[in-house]
Amino acid sequence: MEKHELMEKVKVKCQDSIVRVEEMPNDDVLIEIRKEEILFVMDILKNDPELKFSISNHLGVDNEDNYAVIYNLYSYPFKHKITVKACLDHEHPEIDSVESIFKGMNWFERETYDLLGITFIGHSNLKRLLLPPDWEGHPLRKDYIHPDFYDQIDNRRPDLCD
């Protein structure tokens, strides 16, 4: 199946949930969806006999005026790639967790929560994954300020140019 055929098929199956569909470099297809519809779209992508996607990667991005979550999917039987993107508002970044559909997303979503502070509704164990539990802030946010101290350890560096 060609890239365009896949794009048409996804458009027909997901209908109103899709904001835009476009080609991406590296034989990829980008679909941007409305964030309320993420579970509906993921369910179709996984269970439709003509698509049969599995998930391979997930990340979050701070775009300064909004946040985005991105999921990279790959279909083992049909060898298609698809990238699903949803934009979240900057004040309260929240989206439904896809853990109920793809179990392996548990840790990926925890990492995004840890580093970007995006809340995944319905996640079974939404705790910090990489950073210590008492860490303040989310380092991959663009407005993150590196703390001078953590646990009474001085993180400041002397300015060697002075």
Give residues with Cβ within 8 angstroms of 45, minimum separation 6.
Answer: 10, 51, 53, 73, 82, 84
- Is residue 24 part of the contact set for other proteins (CB under 8 A)? yes
In one-letter notation, the amino acid at residue 94 is E
Structure tokens that stand for 50 in this block = 């003509």
Q: Residue 117, interface with other proteins (CB under 8 A)?
A: no
Residue range at the interface with other proteins (CB under 8 A); choices 1-9, 37-45, 55-63, 152-160: 55-63
Residue in 13, 21, 139, 150 binding other proteins, rule: CB under 8 A = 139
Q: Which is nearer to other proteins, 38 or 55 (CB)?
A: 55
Q: Please provide the DSSP assignment of 102-152 as one string.
A: -TTHHHHHHHHHHHH--EEET-TT---SSS-TT--S-TTSTT----SEETT
Out of 8, 20, 47, 54, which residue is the one contacting other proteins (CB under 8 A)? 54
- Interaxial angle between packed helices 38-47 and 3-14, expressed in degrees from 0 to 180 and rounded to the nearest 10: 130
Tell whether residue 55 is a contact of other proteins (CB under 8 A): yes
CB nearer to other proteins: give 96 or 111.
Answer: 111
Contact between 49 and other proteins per CB under 8 A? no
Q: How far apart are CA 97 and CA 103, in angstroms?
A: 10
Q: How many residues bind other proteins (CB under 8 A)?
A: 32
Non-local CB neighbours of 53 within 8 Å, separated by 6+ positions: 45, 46, 73, 74, 75, 80, 82
Query: Any contact of residue 21 with other proteins (CB under 8 A)?
Result: no
Among 38, 115, 118, 120, binds other proteins (CB under 8 A): 115
Residue ranges binding other proteins (CB under 8 A):
24-26, 28, 54-57, 59, 61-62, 70, 72, 76, 79, 81, 83, 102-108, 115, 128-132, 139-140
